[in-house]
């Protein structure tokens, strides 16, 4: 349920425009929702098969709560207990917990979904809990710490619990992490787009390295034109940026389709290790959505792609890295605490975004980023590596995170 207005807390599903097992594209209207102030359309956040409708027509749903799941064909999802218009039995303690949660939200203090659930189940007063997450966010472990006996058990039990809590998801950036696309992929595609428009612009390797300090392709071009001058006779700068970016994306897709750019060493191996360990997989990138999906599909292969629970890319968020918005969204989509997620990044902007979201971060450097400051990273390597030059395994990542 999207956020619509600062004072709107719930919406009622008036009509579903799709049914389960339908294929939807990002931007397709999937539902009509009515609030006490307006009627609006809800669009799909990403493309895929509509796996599950979580609520019936007439159900009242809280803002930012999921209303449906989109994924790969054959993928299964666990239906929440509150779905299909049902709700757990209300008790005075639970009603009080809901009121406190709403008060905290109005006060600017966020509470994770799992923290709300645990507090509701145990009748915990959230207003008396000091959150340890980013900006004081109240996390599940903050609530558990107030429950007598919740942290009890043997050292072995605590170690097992800590392992389960610390790492439940492995999230990859795309460019520079899955594949070394920047120098011989995106840079080349940008230059081809400029040439197609008749612009005498060539981003050489050195210049492009400086431009990479700006996240996002559209933002990067705008930054360049603002500093070096816009082409003559441009009446609509936004339209030009949009046209150039579409051309650039098409050229980049051709490069990926050609198979010229291989996966970086160790990526497929680490994906396989995570899959075997039942670790949730995701990709978070500021690159164009089509391009990211193609990289995962063509280079990792359809079988590996099927194990990814989310691929978030392009304009799915309004703010680019180092803003943590895309990783905050990933935490929400995956239904996990930030501290349960480990991110693999290649740049300082990506590292800062992951850390600002409260996640752990492993950095794999490349030619453009090797001299950047990665002080905040949990581990820095030149590549993930394959035999006989493996630099990090999933087991080692878990051990490093536990020790930190």
| Residue (of 74, 84, 59) closest to 21 by Cα position | 74
Q: Residue 360: give its domain's CATH number.
A: 3.40.50.1000
| Domain end call among 241, 258, 275 | 258
Q: How many CA atoms lie within 13 A of 339 on its CB side?
A: 20
196, 243: one domain? yes
State yes or no: is 173 an active-site residue.
yes
**In total, how many domains does the chain have?**
4
Report, as an integer, the average pLDDT of 342-348.
96
| Structural domain span for residue 240 | 182-258
Q: Are residues 102 and 207 in the same domain?
A: no
125, 135, 173, 371: which one is catalytic? 173
Query: Do 106 and 63 lie in a common domain?
Result: no
Q: If you average pLDDT over residues 227-247, what whole number do you get?
A: 93
Instruction: Give residue-wise pLDDT tens across range 143-193.
Output: 888 876 654 443 444 444 443 457 999 999 999 999 988 888 989 999 999
78 found inside a domain: no
Give the pLDDT band (50/70/90) at residue 22: confident
- The tokens of 155 are what? 């050292």
CB 375 within 8 A of CB 358: no
Whether residues 59 and 98 fall in one domain? no
Same domain (yes/no): 48, 193: no
Q: Are residue 58 and residue 173 in the same domain, yes or no?
A: no
User: Both 175 and 186 in a single domain?
Assistant: no
**In contact, 116 and 332? CB cutoff 8 Å:** no
pLDDT tens-place string over residues 105-136: 555 566 665 676 677 777 788 788 888 766 67
Q: pLDDT value at position 95?
A: 54
**Candidates 7, 56, 175, 233; catalytic one:** 175
308 φ, ψ to 5°? Answer: -85, 125
Residue 72, both tokens: 């790969």
Verify that 172 and 313 share a domain, yes or no. yes
Gap between the Cα atoms of 152 and 159, Å rounded? 12
Whether 230 and 268 map to the same domain: the answer is no
Residue 14 CB partners (closer than 8 Å, separation 6+): 31, 32, 33, 34, 39, 57
At CB < 8 A and 24+ separation, what contacts does 224-233 make?
231/197, 231/199
Averaged pLDDT score across all residues of the chain: 82
143 Cβ contact partners less than 8 Å away, ≥ 6 residues apart: 115, 118, 119, 122, 124, 126, 129
- E-state strands within 106-165: none
308 touches 282 (CB < 8 A): yes
Give the pLDDT band of residue 392 (cuts 50, 70, 90).
Answer: very high
Q: Which residues, other chains included, contact 228 with Cβ-Cβ below 8 Å and sequence gap of 6+?
A: none
CATH of the domain at 116: 4.10.320.10
| Residue-wise DSSP of 218-229 | HHHHHHHHHHH-
Supply the pLDDT for residue 264: 95
| One domain, residues 272 and 376 | yes
Answer yes or no: do 172 and 214 share one domain: no
pLDDT at position 107 is 54
SS3 at position 281: strand
Tell me: do 133 and 210 sit in the same domain. no
Find, among 288, 283, 245, the residue nearest to 263 by Cα. 283
Q: Is the pLDDT of residue 92 over 80?
A: no
C-alpha span between 45 and 28 (Å, rounded): 9
How far is residue 8 CA from its own chain's centroid?
Answer: 25
* Per-residue confidence band for 365, with pLDDT thresholds at 50, 70 and 90: very high
Residue 55 lies in a domain: yes
For residue 180, indicate whether it is catalytic. Answer: no
In the predicted model, is pLDDT for residue 355 greater than 90?
Answer: yes
Which residue among 206, 236, 258 closes a domain? 258
């Amino acid at each position: 349920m999207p956020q619509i207005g600062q004072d709107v807390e719930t919406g009622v599903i008036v009509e579903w425009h799709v049914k389960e097992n339908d294929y939807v594209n990002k931007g397709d209207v999937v539902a009509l929702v009515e609030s006490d102030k307006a009627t609006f359309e809800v669009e799909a956040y990403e493309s895929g098969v509509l796996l599950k409708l979580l609520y019936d027509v007439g159900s009242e749903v809280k803002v930012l709560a999921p209303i449906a799941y989109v994924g790969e064909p054959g993928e299964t999802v666990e239906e929440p207990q509150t779905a299909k218009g049902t709700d757990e039995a209300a008790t005075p303690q639970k009603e009080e917990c809901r009121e406190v949660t709403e008060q905290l939200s109005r006060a600017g203090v966020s509470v994770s979904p799992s923290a709300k659930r645990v507090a509701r189940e145990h009748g915990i007063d959230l207003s008396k809990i000091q959150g340890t997450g980013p900006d004081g966010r109240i996390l599940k472990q903050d609530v558990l710490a107030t429950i007598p006996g919740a942290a009890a058990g043997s050292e072995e039990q605590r170690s097992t619990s800590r392992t389960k809590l610390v790492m439940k998801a492995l999230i990859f950036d795309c460019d520079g992490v899955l594949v070394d696309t920047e120098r011989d992929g995106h840079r080349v595609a940008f230059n081809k787009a400029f040439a197609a428009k008749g612009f005498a612009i060539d981003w050489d390797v050195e210049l492009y390295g400086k431009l990479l300090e700006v996240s996002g392709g559209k933002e990067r071009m705008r930054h360049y034109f603002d500093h070096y001058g816009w082409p003559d006779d441009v009446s609509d700068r936004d339209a030009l940026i949009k046209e150039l970016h579409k051309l650039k994306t098409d050229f980049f897709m051709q490069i990926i389709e050609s198979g010229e750019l291989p996966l970086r060493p160790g990526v497929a191996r680490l994906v396989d290790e995570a899959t075997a360990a039942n670790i949730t997989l995701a990709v978070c990138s500021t690159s164009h959505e089509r391009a990211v999906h193609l990289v995962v599909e063509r280079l990792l292969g359809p079988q590996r792609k099927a194990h990814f629970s989310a691929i978030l890319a392009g304009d799915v968020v309004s703010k680019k890295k180092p803003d943590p918005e895309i990783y905050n969204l990933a935490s929400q989509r995956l239904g996990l605490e930030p501290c349960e997620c480990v991110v693999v990044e290649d740049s300082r902007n990506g590292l800062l975004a992951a850390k600002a979201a409260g996640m752990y971060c492993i950095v794999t450097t490349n030619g453009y980023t090797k001299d950047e400051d990665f002080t905040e990273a949990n581990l820095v390597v030149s590549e993930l590596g394959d035999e006989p030059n493996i630099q990090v395994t999933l087991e080692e990542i878990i051990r490093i995170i536990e020790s930190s």
